[in-house]
Amino acid sequence: MLAIIIPAHNEAACIGACLAAAFVAASHPALLGEAARVIVVSDACTDDTSEISRTAGADVIEVTTRNVGFARAEGARFALTLSARWLAFTDADSLVAPDWLARQLECASDAVCGVVCVEDWGCHHPQVSEQLREHFALSYFHDEGHHHVHGANFGVSSEAYLRAGGFAAMHSGEDSALVAALIASGARIAWSAGPRVVTSSRTDFRAPGGFGAILLDVTRSYEAGQPVGGLSREDLPLLR
């Protein structure tokens, strides 16, 4: 059995679209009919996130920690009780590709770190959308061997996950910490451009040190008219 795990805090506005994409990925023909469960970890939600998720057909776990590392770990723990052999993680503000889960498994590795793209620059950053689009195109590596780590696009075998000790209860950086632990344990990591995820450029991000926070720092520099490096990958602040 396979599991798709999604931590969520007050994500009623976007969890429906996220889940629709996840269920498409969970039923991709390349999975050859293997069961895949979609699990939402509703973390201290005060909106309709849990209700929307249940109505969509997801398993819902409710926690109250406001800690994404803990939420991911709880989702993994539940999936392991169901005997899931593969744990795939994304975020509530993200849309996985239809073949996302299948492409993770095709890598035949202990863990897979995928890439992200952004399509809503103008929605959240209308004044500097073109600068951000160009910045991202120049500073972000979409190729094989990229070495990006995103909780929105990550998969790991259950065996490797347990061997590495699982997610730590961190407010951000839990994904990078787990990948470091996986490497230390001898796990085979696929740094793949195959599994694709569209994520958001929103400013009300949930992880204080994640992709959204880094993006906001770059955005503020552009809005203030401050230099953020020349137009080369070596000079630009990296969007990890």
- What pLDDT digit, counting tens, does each position of 57-73 carry? 999 999 999 999 999 99
pLDDT reading at 82 higher than 70? yes
Q: Is residue 216 part of a domain?
A: no
Q: CA dihedral defined by 4, 10, 13, 14, rounded to 10 degrees?
A: -20
List the one residue out of 135, 137, 141, 153 whose CA is nearest residue 198.
153
Q: Is residue 50 part of a domain?
A: yes
Predicted TM-score (pTM) of this structure: 0.89
Question: How many domains in the chain?
Answer: 1
pLDDT of res. 124: 67
Query: Among all chains, which residue has been given the structure tokens 């994409």?
Result: 21
pLDDT reading at 141 higher than 80? yes
pLDDT reading at 134 higher than 90? no
Lowest mean pLDDT among 39-53, 140-154, 175-189: 140-154
Do 209 and 216 touch, CB atoms closer than 8 A? Answer: no
Q: Is residue 233 part of a domain?
A: no
Q: Which residues 6+ apart lie within 8 Å of 150 measured at CB?
A: 113, 114, 115, 116, 175, 197, 199, 211
3-state secondary structure of 78: helix
CA–CA separation, 131 and 105 (whole Å): 35
| CB-CB neighbours of 211 under 10 Å | 24
User: pLDDT tens across 156-187, in order?
Assistant: 999 999 999 999 999 999 999 999 999 999 99
CATH assignment at residue 21? 3.90.550.10
State the Rg of the chain over Cα: 17
List the one residue out of 209, 201, 200, 199 whose CA is nearest residue 176.
209
Q: How confident is the model at residue 135 (pLDDT cuts 50, 70, 90)?
A: confident
Helical axes 68-81 vs 174-184, angle rounded to 10°: 60
Biggest alpha carbon distance in the chain? Answer: 53
Q: Is residue 205 part of a domain?
A: no
CA–CA separation, 131 and 32 (whole Å): 43
pLDDT of res. 231: 33
Q: Is residue 45 part of a domain?
A: yes
Q: Is residue 212 part of a domain?
A: no
pLDDT of res. 236: 36
CA–CA separation, 62 and 73 (whole Å): 13
Pairing of strands 189-199, 95-96: antiparallel
Q: Is residue 16 part of a domain?
A: yes
Do 181 and 165 touch, CB atoms closer than 8 A? Answer: yes
Q: Which domain holds residue 69?
A: 2-115+143-165+175-197
pLDDT of res. 50: 98
Q: Is residue 52 part of a domain?
A: yes
